């Protein structure tokens, strides 16, 4: 059939006008519950679809450029499940050219028995705003006569009403006392930085959470030492908008020069002119260095070159050399560097200008020219005096930074007025109401206990944390679930397991979904999972990815090996990261210490660029980890059913300090098929505390002795 005409300018303008009149302004503070958009992102079904590109979900995704269309027959219907019974007030239909002449709006509380709230035999198409009354959970449009030879086609099907959840929540507002904002004229900046650092330097499992924000401008003579649960960011649209003539420093004096526990902190969106020409960022897991411009060198080792256990750089420009020194492993993505020195076991680069040449295992460099798919983390910035969140666009085969070279960043901006600013004490019910109401979520620094799952079911929702905001599920619930929708962005927060076992801590998409999200995938960035350490915690699995095409860009999923509430059964968690969706990409995957498999990959066409793992230290004996006839559970298992999978730069280490005689069959397990390929694998026994017998399956030399020398494989099969 010929291409369909798109709506005329008049129709588009009418749609925009209706939207402006109907959409609840997030800044509203009316004391009475006002009608809100209930249908967006909710599950939708239809009697038929014209094809895979016009699913029912496209009519409730908030995007006027996507649509549902039916087959070319009468009757046809589309319905939406609002998730809860609501008092309904209005339905807005945005028809494509193929509209209904005769149709009904029908309501149901159970999805089976329907009543008519509106009917017509003279439908005009275009944008139709229908006032209705009734109480229902399910709403459908039931077409009985088409106005054209095609089927029925809706750009958007919107249902408005109230759920009885209380007054409308306002958007925007202040960011709370633990977001500390500076401008170049602020007095006492260094003293405030020092005050927070003194509190947070060794507070590894404390409750303090802080975010430093620097307004655009130039700051002189600062040394911002960054401790636990502290983030520092510039508020410009480009890193070069905010320059510190000084340093942003992480060192390890608090731990006698050992940087292997410098976790949970971040630096973002700043330009630095280091005082001595080189900035020091001596960190290990969960300490991202994003969107930074260092006008000099960067030293990744602590003073004295003590141990350091690996980290992550993305979308950054380091004019000088990056001194890796004692870092055991590191991943650098979509950046530009002046050079790179040294490497211990596993240094991985993708899309990085100036990266060293491929050399694994000697030197231990894995270098990919580009990153297949990437999309940078959302970030807060100032547009004049107004706070906004910039949401970067997806890039394919990216190389170098997404900013600089005089070009405007690609993406979109969302004003803070469209965010619910979440503050400590907010309940999960209130947070869910905000999402249902159409707001994004900005978690201010703090610890949040939730007694029910946070449901992110609206397409395009941004959930952004400041200062490593931490969510703790109570009563064994899953802390957060994302719906089967496009374009959700999760970034910058920590989920900490509670004392009652949760089946999972974070789930991306429902089990069994078949929806294609390639055009606008969900991204999970700097979202960290912890089981134990801060106190007793239990979860069957840390993170589950069901949605196809999801990008997990830098995560540390950690069953604690130290701290409070730690023991083989005390903080039991069998699985760290489970992927059921197809075409999932992980860039910068850190998963450690789970009782069984750290990673289980069941989806097709999965890809991992950089993996760092340690097996659980605290296995009491060989029998405790026995996996049938196999000695131990692989760190990274690809299911036998998978036909296509690929990984680059993957390492697993063992340190069985309770029983050093434990033998681990292998670090990696995968089916031997032409489409399942691995590049640059290694296993390491740390000081001879336990040993690996192979690298992957039955392939690769065993580790031996106490010399901590990796066993490597360059290519498998």
pLDDT one-digit tens code per residue, 45-63: 999 999 999 999 999 998 8
CA pair distance 127, 155, nearest whole angstrom = 10
Q: What is the pLDDT of residue 18?
A: 35
List, in order, residues 6 or more apart from 373 with CB less than 8 Å away.
Answer: 394, 395, 396, 521, 551, 585
Say if residue 477 is exposed, middle or buried (CB neighbours under 10 Å; 0-12, 13-18, 19+).
buried
Cβ atoms of 624 and 568 within 8 Å: the answer is yes
* Mean pLDDT comparison of 10-24, 53-67, 400-414, 703-717, highest-scoring range: 703-717
Judge whether residue 33 has pLDDT over 70.
no
- pLDDT at position 133: 85
Residue 12, classed as helix, strand or coil, is helix
- Compute the distance between CA of residue 99 and CA of residue 82 in angstroms, rounded to an integer: 23
3-state secondary structure at position 482: strand
Contacts of 408 (CB under 8 A, 6+ apart): none
Give the model's confidence band at 437: pLDDT under 50 very low, under 70 low, under 90 confident, else very high. Answer: confident
Do 100 and 127 contact (CB within 8 A), yes or no?
no
Is 29's pLDDT higher than 60?
no
How much is the pLDDT for 26?
35
Q: What is the pLDDT of residues 379-412, one digit of tens each?
A: 999 999 999 999 999 999 999 999 998 778 899 9
Pairing label, strands 127-146, 100-108: antiparallel
d(CA 156, CA 40): 9
CB 140 within 8 Å of CB 80: yes
3-state SS class at 49: coil
Six-digit token string for 189: 């900046």
* 578/281 Cα distance (integer angstroms): 31
Task: Indicate whether 572 pLDDT > 90.
Answer: yes
Torsion of CA 555, 560, 563, 568, to 10 degrees: 170
CA atoms within 13 A on the CB side of 73: 5
Of the residues 50, 268, 592, 614, only one is catalytic, namely 614
pLDDT band (50, 70, 90) for residue 113: confident
Indicate whether 30 pLDDT > 80.
Answer: no
- The answer to whether residue 35 scores a pLDDT higher than 90 is no
Residue 198: other Cβ atoms inside 10 A: 12
* Lowest mean per-residue pLDDT among 262-266, 366-370, 510-514: 510-514
Q: CB of 321 within 8 A of CB of 341?
A: yes
Structure tokens at 685: 């026994």
Structure token digits, residue 79: 């319905």
Q: How many CB atoms lie within 10 A of CB 190?
A: 13
What's the token pair of residue 422?
């979440």
Measured CA to CA, the distance from residue 316 to residue 332 in angstroms comes to 9
- The alpha carbon dihedral of 712, 324, 302, 310 has a sign of negative
Handedness of CA 340, 270, 556, 282 (dihedral sign): positive
When pLDDT is averaged across residues 99-125 and rounded to a whole number, the result is: 91
Q: Give Cα separations from 39 to 77, 137, 514 (angstroms).
A: 16, 10, 21
> Residue 166 — pLDDT band, cuts 50, 70, 90?
low
In terms of Cα–Cα distance, which of 24, 257, 35, 71 is closest to 160? Answer: 35
CA quadruple 198, 202, 205, 211: dihedral positive or negative?
positive
Average pLDDT over residues 84-111: 91
Q: Which residues pair with 440 in a beta bridge?
A: 419
CB 645 within 8 A of CB 672: no
For the chain, what's the residue count?
717
Mean pLDDT along residues 107-115: 83
Would you tell me how many other CB atoms lie within 10 Å of the CB of residue 485?
26
Question: To 5 degrees, how large is the angle CA 32–CA 14–CA 16?
Answer: 60
Q: Give the pLDDT confidence score for residue 666 in this predicted structure.
A: 98
Give the chain's end-to-end CA distance (angstroms, integer): 47
Q: Residues 217-238, buried b or exposed e (16+ Cβ, 10 A)? A: bebeebbbbbbbbbbbbbbbbb
7: part of which helix (H) or strand (E)?
Answer: none
What confidence tier does 11 reach under pLDDT thresholds 50, 70, 90?
very low
Q: Give the containing element (helix H, strand E) for 551.
A: strand 551-559
The pLDDT tens digits of the residues spanning 632-675 come to 999 999 999 999 999 999 999 999 999 999 999 999 999 999 99
Taking the C-alpha atoms of 608, 693, 576 and 627 in order, what is their torsion angle to the nearest 10 degrees? 130
359 CB burial (10 A radius; 0-12, 13-18, 19+): middle
- Which pLDDT tens digit goes with each residue over 181-208? 999 999 999 999 999 999 999 999 999 9
Cis amide leading into 396 (omega within 30): no
Given this model, what pLDDT does residue 34 score?
A: 56
Does residue 3 register a pLDDT over 90? no
For 432, the token pair is 């869910």
Residue 193 phi, psi dihedral angles, 5° rounding: -60, -45
Question: Average model confidence (pLDDT) for the chain?
Answer: 93
Q: Residue 128: CA atoms inside 13 Å, Cβ hemisphere, count? A: 22
**96 tagged catalytic:** no
Residue 254's contacts (CB-CB under 8 Å, 6 or more residues apart) are 201, 202
- Quick one: pLDDT at residue 164? 65
For residue 87, the model assigns a pLDDT of 86
- Asked if residues 324 and 342 have their Cβ atoms less than 8 Å apart, the reply is yes
Q: Residue 542, by phi and psi: left (phi above 0), alpha (psi -120 to 50) or beta?
A: alpha
By C-alpha distance, which of 379, 323, 375 is closest to 347? Answer: 323
* Helices within 586-707 (DSSP H only): 622-625
Distances (CA, A) of 390 to 287, 383, 399: 21, 10, 20
DSSP for 70-101?
--SSS-EEEEEEEEEEEEEEEEEEEE-SS-EE
Strand ranges inside 163-239, DSSP E: 179-182, 210-214, 217-225, 230-234
Closest CA to 438 of 159, 53, 78, 716: 159
How many CA atoms, within 13 angstroms, populate the side-chain half-sphere of residue 5?
Answer: 10
Long-range contacts of 8-11 (CB under 8 A, 24+ apart): 11/126, 11/127
More confident residue, 21 or 471: 471
Q: pTM for the full model?
A: 0.82
List, as one string, the DSSP characters of 525-545.
EEEEEEESBBS---EEEEEEE
Residue 294 has pLDDT above 50, yes or no: yes
The DSSP annotation for 276-289 comes to TSEEEB---SS--E
Q: Is 250 left (phi over 0), alpha (psi -120 to 50) or beta?
A: beta
For residue 609, is pLDDT > 50?
Answer: yes
């Amino acid at each position: 059939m010929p291409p369909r005409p798109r709506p005329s300018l008049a129709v588009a303008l009418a749609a925009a006008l209706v939207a402006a009149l109907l959409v609840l302004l997030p800044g509203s503070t009316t004391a009475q519950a006002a009608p809100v958009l209930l249908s967006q992102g909710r599950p939708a079904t239809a009697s038929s679809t014209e094809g895979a590109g016009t699913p029912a979900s496209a009519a409730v995704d908030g995007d006027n450029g996507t649509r549902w269309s039916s087959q070319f027959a009468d009757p046809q219907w589309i319905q939406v499940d609002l998730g809860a019974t609501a008092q309904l007030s209005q339905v807005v239909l945005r028809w494509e050219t193929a509209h209904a002449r005769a149709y009904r709006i029908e309501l149901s509380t159970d999805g089976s028995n329907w009543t008519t709230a509106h009917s017509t035999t003279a439908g005009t198409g275009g944008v139709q705003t229908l006032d209705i009354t009734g109480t229902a959970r399910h709403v459908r449009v039931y077409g009985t006569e088409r106005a054209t030879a095609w089927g029925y086609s809706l750009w958007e099907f919107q249902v408005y009403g109230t759920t009885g959840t209380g007054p409308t929540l306002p958007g925007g507002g202040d960011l709370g006392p633990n977001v500390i904002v500076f401008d170049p004229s602020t007095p006492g900046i260094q003293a405030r930085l020092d005050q927070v650092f003194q509190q947070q330097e060794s507070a590894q499992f404390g409750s303090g959470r802080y975010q430093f924000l620097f307004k655009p401008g130039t700051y002189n003579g600062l040394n911002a030492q960054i401790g636990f649960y502290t983030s520092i960011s510039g508020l410009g649209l480009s890193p070069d908008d905010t320059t510190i003539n000084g340093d942003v420093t992480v060192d390890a004096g608090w731990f006698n020069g050992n940087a292997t526990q410098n976790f949970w902190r971040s630096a973002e969106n700043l330009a630095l002119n280091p005082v001595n020409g080189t900035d020091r960022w001596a960190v290990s897991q969960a300490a991202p260095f994003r969107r930074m411009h260092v006008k000099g060198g960067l030293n990744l080792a602590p003073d004295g070159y003590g141990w350091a256990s690996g980290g992550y750089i993305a979308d950054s420009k380091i004019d000088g050399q990056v001194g890796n020194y004692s870092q055991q492993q590191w991943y650098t993505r979509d950046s530009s560097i002046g050079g790179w020195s040294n490497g211990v076991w596993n240094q991985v680069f993708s899309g990085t200008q100036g990266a060293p040449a491929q050399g694994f295992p000697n030197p231990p460099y894995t270098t990919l020219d580009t990153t297949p798919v990437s999309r940078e983390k959302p970030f807060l910035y100032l547009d004049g005096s107004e706070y906004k969140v910039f949401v970067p666009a997806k890039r394919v085969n990216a190389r170098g930074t997404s900013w600089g070279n005089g070009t405007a960043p690609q993406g979109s901006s969302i004003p803070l007025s469209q965010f619910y600013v979440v503050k400590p004490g907010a309940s999960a019910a209130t947070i869910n109401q905000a999402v249902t109401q159409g707001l994004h979520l900005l978690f201010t620094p703090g610890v949040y206990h939730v007694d029910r799952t946070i449901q992110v079911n609206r397409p395009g929702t941004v959930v952004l944390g400041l200062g490593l905001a931490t969510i703790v599920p109570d009563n064994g619930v899953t802390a957060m679930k994302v719906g089967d929708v496009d374009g959700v962005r999760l970034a910058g927060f920590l989920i900490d397991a509670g004392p009652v076992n949760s089946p999972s801590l974070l789930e991306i998409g429902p089990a069994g979904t078949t929806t294609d999200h390639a055009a606008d995938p969900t991204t999970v960035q700097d979202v960290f999972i912890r089981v134990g350490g801060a106190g007793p915690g239990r979860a069957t699995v840390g993170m589950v990815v069901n949605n196809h095409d999801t990008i997990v860009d830098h995560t540390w999923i950690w069953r604690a090996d130290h701290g409070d509430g730690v023991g083989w059964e005390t903080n039991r968690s069998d699985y760290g990261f489970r992927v059921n969706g197809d075409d999932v990409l992980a860039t910068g995957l850190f998963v450690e210490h789970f009782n069984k498999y750290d990673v289980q990959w069941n989806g097709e066409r999965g890809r991992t660029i950089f993996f760092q793992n340690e097996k659980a230290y605290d296995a009491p004996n060989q029998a405790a980890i026995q996996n049938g006839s196999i000695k131990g559970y692989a760190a990274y298992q690809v299911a036998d059913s998978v036909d296509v999978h690929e990984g680059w730069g993957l390492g697993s280490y063992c340190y069985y300090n309770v029983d050093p005689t434990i033998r681990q069959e292998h670090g990696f397990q995968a089916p031997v098929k032409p489409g399942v390929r691995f590049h640059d694998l290694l296993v390491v026994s740390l000081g001879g505390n336990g040993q690996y017998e192979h690298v992957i399956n039955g392939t690769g030399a065993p580790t031996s002795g106490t010399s901590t020398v990796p066993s490597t494989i360059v290519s498998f099969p």
